């Protein structure tokens, strides 16, 4: 195989891998890929980790919900529990909460009473302050995609600066 074809194939492979890494993050993102949602009701609580006294936002694709913020992982509200918030009827909701308790896991449950529409999500509360140096969390797929895009740019730049390698 000529060197030119090898360079083109390598650049195409690197670009395809970078695109796959970037799009896979979106396809595997929270919440639809997080498990079954047989009722079609989806709830998210973001960010997933906060410091004591921090805030988190609960969003759902259904309105008329009762929202419960419960201490502990996989907690469920008691039958006569009073919701921490209720939302108006509609297509979706977004409610912000400030955590005033101690460190540990929180389970957020949103449901429409007397229906099958319900979902849960979790938030971890830490005793330490979060790292505020970066606004967004970085994950492995984003790092890999960035490195692969940089490698593609270097291959292209090398070919343009030294046409004898092509």
Output the domain CATH number for residue 50.
2.60.40.10
For residue 89, say if its preceding peptide bond is cis, omega within 30 degrees of 0: no
- In sign, the C-alpha dihedral spanning 83, 88, 91, 96 is negative
pLDDT for 111-164, tens place per residue?
998 888 889 999 999 886 655 555 555 567 677 777 887 888 787 777 777 766
- 71 and 114 part of one domain: yes
**What are the angstrom distances between the C-alpha of 114 and each of 3, 36, 109, 111?**
68, 20, 14, 9
pLDDT for 6-16, tens place per residue?
777 777 777 77
Flag whether pLDDT at 90 surpasses 70.
Answer: yes
How does strand 104-111 pair with strand 49-51?
A: unpaired
Which domain does 81 fall in, by range? 37-126
If residue 159 lies in a helix (H) or strand (E), which one and from where to where? helix 140-161
What is the side-by-side strand order in the sheet with 49-51? 49-51, 118-126, 104-111, 66-71, 85-86
- Number of domains composing the chain: 2
> Left, alpha or beta for 114 (phi > 0: left; psi -120 to 50: alpha)?
left
Question: Which residues make beta-bridge pairs with 46?
Answer: 57
Residue 9, in any domain of the structure: yes
pLDDT for 15-60, tens place per residue?
777 677 656 554 444 444 355 556 678 999 999 899 988 999 999 9
- 42 and 20 part of one domain: no
Whether the predicted model's global pTM rises above the 0.75 cut? no
Residue 134, in any domain of the structure: no
Residue 106: closest CA among 34, 49, 53: 49
- 3-class DSSP state for residue 9? helix
- 92 and 51 part of one domain: yes
How does strand 85-86 pair with strand 104-111?
A: unpaired
Residue 19, in any domain of the structure: yes
Flag whether pLDDT at 76 surpasses 60.
Answer: yes
Mean per-residue pLDDT for 78-93? 91
Distance CA 76, CA 37 (A): 17
């Amino acid at each position: 195989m000529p060197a030119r074809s090898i360079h083109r194939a390598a650049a195409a492979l690197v670009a395809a891998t970078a695109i796959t890494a970037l799009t896979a993050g979106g396809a595997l993102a929270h919440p639809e890929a997080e498990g079954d949602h047989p009722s079609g009701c989806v709830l998210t609580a973001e960010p997933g980790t906060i410091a004591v006294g921090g805030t988190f936002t609960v969003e759902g694709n259904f309105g008329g919900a009762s929202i419960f913020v419960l201490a502990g992982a996989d907690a469920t509200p008691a039958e006569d529990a009073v919701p921490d918030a209720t939302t108006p009827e509609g297509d979706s909701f977004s409610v912000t909460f400030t955590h005033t308790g101690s460190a540990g896991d929180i389970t957020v449950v949103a449901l429409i009473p007397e229906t099958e529409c319900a979902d849960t999500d979790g938030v971890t509360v830490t005793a330490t302050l979060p790292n505020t140096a970066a606004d967004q969390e970085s994950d492995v797929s984003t790092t890999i995609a960035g490195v692969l895009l940089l490698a593609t740019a270097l291959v292209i730049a090398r070919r343009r600066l030294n046409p004898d390698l092509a």
